[in-house]
Amino acid sequence: MEDPYPVKPFRSPASAKVVVPGSKSMTNRAMILAALADGISRIENCLFSEDTEIMVNALQTLGFAIQTYPKEKRIEVTGKGGTIPNSKARLNVGNSGTSARFLTALCCLGKEGEYELDGVPQMRKRPIDSLANALSKLGADIETANGFFPLKIRPKRLFGGKVTIDATGSSQLVSALLMVAPFCQQTLNIELSDTSIRRGYIEMTCEMMKAFGIPPKNILSSNSGYTIHSSSAYSSQANGYVVEGDASAASYFLALPLAVGGKIEIEGLKKDSLQGDTAFTEKVEKIGASIEWKASSAVCHYDLSRAQPLAFNDNFYQISDTFLTAAAISPLLEGETKIEGIEHTRHQECDRIEAMANGLSRLGQNVRQTQGSLTVEPKALNEATVATYEDHRVAMSFAILGCRDIKGNGEPWLKVEDPLCARKTFPDFFETLEKARRDSEKEATLASK
């Protein structure tokens, strides 16, 4: 693939159907839960990407038997009922936040030995002290590098009891504790130091734990936190657990009709999804798009001949992975866009606020930022190459902006550096986008005859 990658604009309104890959968040959670169960679990509609490969490799290094079938989008995991086969291992978590946090908690279930976890330089900037401190209080022996990776874990039996955790940086810290909680010696009470944290992905974790056999009565939630009783075990899913289509990935194609007009049907996006990022549909409806829900898909419509979409002026704290999508198309909206509630995204795959501000500034926009917000005043767009900082969401978000034909001749004007970074969660994103462009032009040609 050409790097930097020139995004080909749409010369006609969108008219296509796309299929989003399986959810990264659900795929990685399902693998952890399957490893904790006793027996073989079959996981269907899995995402095969850089992040999920990191999880597969790590679990295999820990001694779990895992079979992968990429063409069938299936993974089979042989769980060991809460034990870890290998007592010593060195795990590479790359820049995968889910892998880093979930594996940290998982390794604390070992009865002896030592586990070392490390990742890329950016991962060493992502704090892990809140989770490490909570697990230490529960009985684990964890050594960090001043609250960051690399980690050294000497596992001991987790006691349970009460623990307080600050999960304002990532709700994955709570999910990591929840998934290992059934193996504590006694009931685990997780108290949130800040109850305003993003709950969507935590609730997803709870529902998936129930799907893997934990009785609903053993998982209690309240405004102050969560209680997990330890008297039950996970059950393997030999008949299959189906991963939903990725709602975060769907956000790019929900934004596409706002950029070029027309309609896109997104296969795999469900209204009753476990994923909080499905709420991005409400954000685009709020600024003028219409959403039609079908049994296993959503169709997003926008008629650009009527008017420009309204600007986003909203808090994205609960669905912060989608703020980049909203920010990227802000130059095409009516009025000033202001996105708030995103301070924690400065400590993800990159400083995402700075990354979006830099890219939009290169494109000629007037951008202002605070520690937790981004404001964009639309100006005339100019040609530019956008840096992605090895962040998949930066790359995919700006690609949607590049689909607007600002030159009026179909010539690319926006280039995306390091397009292959999209492999982290959506390996064939650019191919999917290009197919949608070609399909839309075919539809327009047929309609004109």
DSSP characters over 80-142: ETT--S-SEEEEEEET-HHHHHHHHHHHTT-SSSEEEEEE-TTGGGS--HHHHHHHHHTT-EE
Bridge partners (DSSP) listed for residue 164: 191
Cα distance between residue 24 and residue 34, in whole Å: 15
Two tokens at 365?
């926009």
In the 3-class helix/strand/coil scheme, how is 246-305 assigned residue by residue? CHHHHHHHHHHHHHHCEEEEEECCCCCCCCHHHHHHHHHHHCCCEEEECCCEEEEEECCC
Work out the burial of residue 282: count CB atoms within 10 Å of its CB; fewer than 13 is exposed, 13-18 middle, 19 or more buried.
Answer: exposed
Cβ contact 118:95 at 8 Å: no
Q: Is 416 helix (H, G, I), strand (E, B) or coil?
A: strand
Cβ contact 416:386 at 8 Å: yes
Asked if omega into 150 is within 30° of 0 (cis), the reply is yes
Our measurement of the distance from residue 312's CA atom to the centroid of its chain's CA atoms, rounded to an integer in Å, reads 21
Q: Which of 321, 391, 405, 418 is catalytic?
A: 321
Cβ contact 303:54 at 8 Å: no
Cβ contact 21:49 at 8 Å: yes
Main-chain dihedrals φ then ψ at residue 302, nearest 5 degrees: -155, 130
Two tokens at 33?
């839960």
Two tokens at 381?
């767009």
Cβ contact 103:179 at 8 Å: no
Q: Is 71 helix (H, G, I), strand (E, B) or coil?
A: helix
Active site residue 118: no
**Catalytic positions:** 321
